[in-house]
Amino acid sequence: MSINVTRRQFFKLGGAGLASSSLAMMGFAPEPAEASIRQFKLTHAKETRNTCTYCSVGCGILIYSKGDGSKNVEQNVFHIEGDPDHPVSRGSLCPKGAGLLDFVHSKGRLEYPQVREAGSSEWTRISWDEALNRIARHMKDDRDANFVQRTAQGETVNHWTTTGFLAASGSSNEAGYITHKVVRNLGMVAFDNQARV
Amino acid sequence: MNNSQNIIARSATTTTPPQVRSHVDEVAKLIDVSKCIGCKACQVACMEWNDLRDDVGECHGTYDNPTDLTANSWTVMRFSEHETQEGNLEWLIRKDGCMHCAEPGCLTACPAPGAIVQYANGIVDFNSEHCIGCGYCITGCPFDIPRISAKDQKSYKCTLCSDRVNAGMEPACVKTCPTNCIEFGTKEDMLARAEKRVGDLKALGFRDAGIYDPAGVGGTHVMYVLHHANDPNRYSGLPKDPRISPLVGAWKGATKPIMSAIIGITAFAGVIHYMTKGPKEEPEEQAEHGQDDVPPPHSLGYDATRPRGEDR
């Protein structure tokens, strides 16, 4: 059996098909509905354990970066979440920790030592060696000028009251012990750390 | 990712989706309002995971920030101050977001095929590619959750991190919660935990403590433990007995079949008219073409420049 379809009839048939598929768009007939689940974004990401920088609680974090570390790849952190194996936080993070990704990529993040000379309004970049030398120089000069060896009562003391020290919050017991020894040996009295949130 | 989950319901569709993988546990998120300190870690973790960033808002004199759900803020903490009859102040903080109803009003109301789907594990997910931005899901939602983005005119809401759950993980908000206020597991396990917690709260003196798993929407896959379950409205307007709007029922129940019938009858009348009266005849104009414009017949297969005559 053969059907003779003229060119015009063929187009009419096509038009009817188009009209019925337009009805489908209005919900009269189904179209294949795909599942909407987003592709899991951590598949094959490089996972690195670290400690949150914010406060002295020191929650464990997992840093996910793109690229597997091959030599031709520039790593880029794209997601951070809590480390479930960390004994302190067990996977949880406060709002600051949960937002660490934007902290890492912040335009205002300090990435290297800078100095603003007296009377200047500009910050200029200096090297780490230069920065450490300058700080040591300032400390030495200030301590030499203001060091208190004896009180008015004649007691021998180790007092350097004109400089204070603010230590890091996220340090281990060992790092904290060493920091304490160094600071107190120098005679510094004003000594604190950001051990609170 | 197609067919990675059983789809048990699909908006504006009557055919049955593939459903043979039936051995799926229903999941649930349990929010214990009595443990929430309002730190908003869940809000931040939600944005971070879902690659969203909302505009920096303004202070409205409350801790609510942003003050409402948006297309970029799929969950918000709502803070309400309630004075008890004894004159004490209660600061009630509720994490608001999609409740993932067992009978989702958004899905019922949605006219776009496949734009809203419900998986066998209970998650109600928006498939933005199919969304037409009509906003019926907002009308259909008893909790007023979905929001239309001004950027692409599509509707967005919490997915219960369907991508994470599908990969065997918990939602981002659950993982980050520092006070153990948000928990995740099978609905059965979460109900058991909730009951235990309600018992604890009652022992602490909260006589009206209870679980919020409203039957009006078939139960939800996001449940609350409330210290005052007798008055959910106290928690920034959580509805006591949420139901799908009767407007949605009217649209899906009666209006749509009637309108469909009218369209069908109109189409049928057109066919009858065509069969009895025939097509409308227009005098065909004979276009003239220079021979130069005509491509060689073998290159095109047919002569596209010639008018489509009846005799071809």
Size of interface A-B (CB pairs under 8 A): 121
The pLDDT confidence band at residue B1, using thresholds 50, 70 and 90, is very low
Q: Is residue B292 part of a domain?
A: no
Whether residue B203 is found in the same domain as residue B145? yes
Query: Do residues B135 and B194 lie in contact, with contact meaning Cβ atoms separated by under 8 Å?
Result: no
Whether residue B137 is found in the same domain as residue B249? no
Residues of A within 8 A of B312 (CB-CB) are 6-7
Query: Do residues A95 and B39 lie in contact, with contact meaning Cβ atoms separated by under 8 Å?
Result: yes
Average pLDDT in the A25-45 region?
70
Please judge whether A99 and B163 are an interchain contact, meaning their C-beta atoms are less than 8 angstroms apart: no
Closest residue to B41, CB basis, from A30, A35, A98: A98
* ipTM of predicted assembly, 2 dp: 0.79
* Amino acid at position B174, single letter: V
The encoded tokens of residue B15 equal 């055919």
The pLDDT confidence band at residue A93, using thresholds 50, 70 and 90, is very high
In whole angstroms, how far apart are CA A169 and each of A88, A106, A172?
15, 21, 9
Residue-averaged pLDDT of chain B: 89
Closest residue to B44, CB basis, from A8, A79, A98: A98
The C-alpha atoms of residue B102 and residue B25 are separated, in whole angstroms, by 13
The pLDDT confidence band at residue A31, using thresholds 50, 70 and 90, is low
Residues of B within 8 A of A33 (CB-CB) are 7, 10, 13, 17, 113-114, 117, 127, 130
Closest residue to A91, CB basis, from B14, B44, B175: B175
Sign of CA dihedral B249, B255, B258, B262: negative
Q: What is the pLDDT of residue B310?
A: 52
In sequence order, the β-bridge partners of residue B210 are: B226
Domain of residue B87 covers 7-227
Average pLDDT in the B38-60 region?
95
Q: What is the pLDDT of residue A54?
A: 83
What are the backbone dihedrals phi and psi of residue A43, each rounded to the nearest 5 degrees, phi first?
-60, 125
What pTM did the predictor assign?
A: 0.78
pLDDT at B286 over 80: no
More confidently predicted of A57 and B63: B63
Sign of CA dihedral A29, A31, A35, A41: negative
Please judge whether B7 and A35 are an interchain contact, meaning their C-beta atoms are less than 8 angstroms apart: yes
Q: What is the pLDDT of residue B2?
A: 47
Q: Is residue B210 part of a domain?
A: yes
pLDDT at B34 over 80: yes
Closest residue to A35, CB basis, from B2, B43, B45: B2
Please judge whether A95 and B44 are an interchain contact, meaning their C-beta atoms are less than 8 angstroms apart: yes
Please judge whether A37 and B48 are an interchain contact, meaning their C-beta atoms are less than 8 angstroms apart: no
B117-145 pLDDT per residue, tens: 999 999 999 999 999 999 999 999 999 99
A146-159 pLDDT per residue, tens: 999 999 999 999 99
In whole angstroms, how far apart are CA A79 and each of A72, A99, B47, B226?
21, 9, 11, 33
CATH number at residue B214: 3.30.70.20
Q: Is residue B92 part of a domain?
A: yes
- Domain total for chain B? 2
What are the backbone dihedrals phi and psi of residue B7, each rounded to the nearest 5 degrees, phi first?
-100, 120
Give chain B's radius of gyration (CA, Å). Answer: 27
Highest mean predicted confidence (pLDDT) among A15-24, A75-84, B280-289: A75-84
Residues of B within 8 A of A98 (CB-CB) are 41, 44-45, 48, 176
Q: Is residue B234 part of a domain?
A: no
